[in-house]
Structure 1
Amino acid sequence: MNGNLHTQDYWCQLRDGNTDALSALYQLHYTGLINYGVKLTGDRDLANDCFTAVLLDLWERRHTLPEVSNVRAYLITCLHRRMLREIASGKKRLEHHQEAPSAQKLQWSHEDYLAAIEGNDAFTQVFAKAFRRLTQRQQQLLRMKFFEDLDYDHIALTCGITKRTAYNIIHDALKQLKLELKGHVQSSGLPIETLISAALLLILH
């Protein structure tokens, strides 16, 4: 298969049942998505297992997969949700077997909160309103940074701006959101960046 094909082409070919396309997507996105999973949970094995499970699920659903404009963002969302389900399932098993406290010292506080706000309509409504008050440019860069998980260099290149400008736009947007979400930030004890990445996943999908 031509290695110069864009990832979008691989996605289309996957939907047509091409196994080579699935392998190509794996090779293209493995490093980035595993790093995302490790950043999310601190567990490389879990990230690897979940990414593999995501790809298998995509293959099983290949003929009903949607058209997507950003394959990487779609894969990140699938991986994110898969990891949350695995974590929740693992916690239930631990509670069922009443493991010793030492066995429960896992870095799940971040994911626990993500799962919790998924059903928090009040929070998502407040966030959505605050997000809409931002400029279109601020919204665009926040999506790229926290939804698509792009670094500042990539954002700057894509938007035709300097890395410093990209940083300043995102910094100002975070500052504005922090003011509007002050109560939620204080009560959760989590960084505003964590809340935004979680909320964006909810309001954009």
Structure 2
Amino acid sequence: MPSDSALPQEDLAVRLRDGDADALAAVYERHSRLVHTLALRALGNHHDAEDVTQQVFVAAWRGRHNLDPGQGPLAAWLVGITRHAVADLLAQRARTVRNLHAVAAQPAEPATASLDGAVTDRVVVAHALASLGEPRATILKLAFAEEQTHEEIARRLDLPLGTVKSHIRRGLLQLRENIRGVRADAS
């Protein structure tokens, strides 16, 4: 029997569809550069392209039951998955930018705000951060209090970059809801 890397594309696709993990490894070996190159060209960021490449092959494994080897080349199927993953990441970037603009457009606290109000705000934020749990609270503290980049946090905590980004995004959303809840209770 030929090695996985020497198998014809259609045979490899059938084995992948049937749940052969060695076939997934061979598909990755053959097509990861293509997927990474497409993601890098679309996103312009090496780390994001690596994350998308990983997501594509995870999605290919999870969605292997939808693979029809007779429909076309395996590479074309992977390119379709890559396009969806890139579109999802670009949409996420657009949401983040939109949210940042919305926050920036919020009116600033009046200059006459009392010192007591600032102290109260710090206590509320500290309590809301503590309620996030770990590692999310630590990741947000490193990102905002220590102004570390996503990559620095990932290295420091030995976490995948995508996990750090997800914790930051979800943590900010949760933090916002926690603070809204405290303000609503105070009204």
Taking structure 2 as the reference length, what is the TM-score of the superposition?
A: 0.48
Taking structure 1 as the reference length, what is the TM-score of the superposition?
A: 0.44
Q: Give the number of the structure whose alpha-carbon radius of gyration is greater.
A: 2
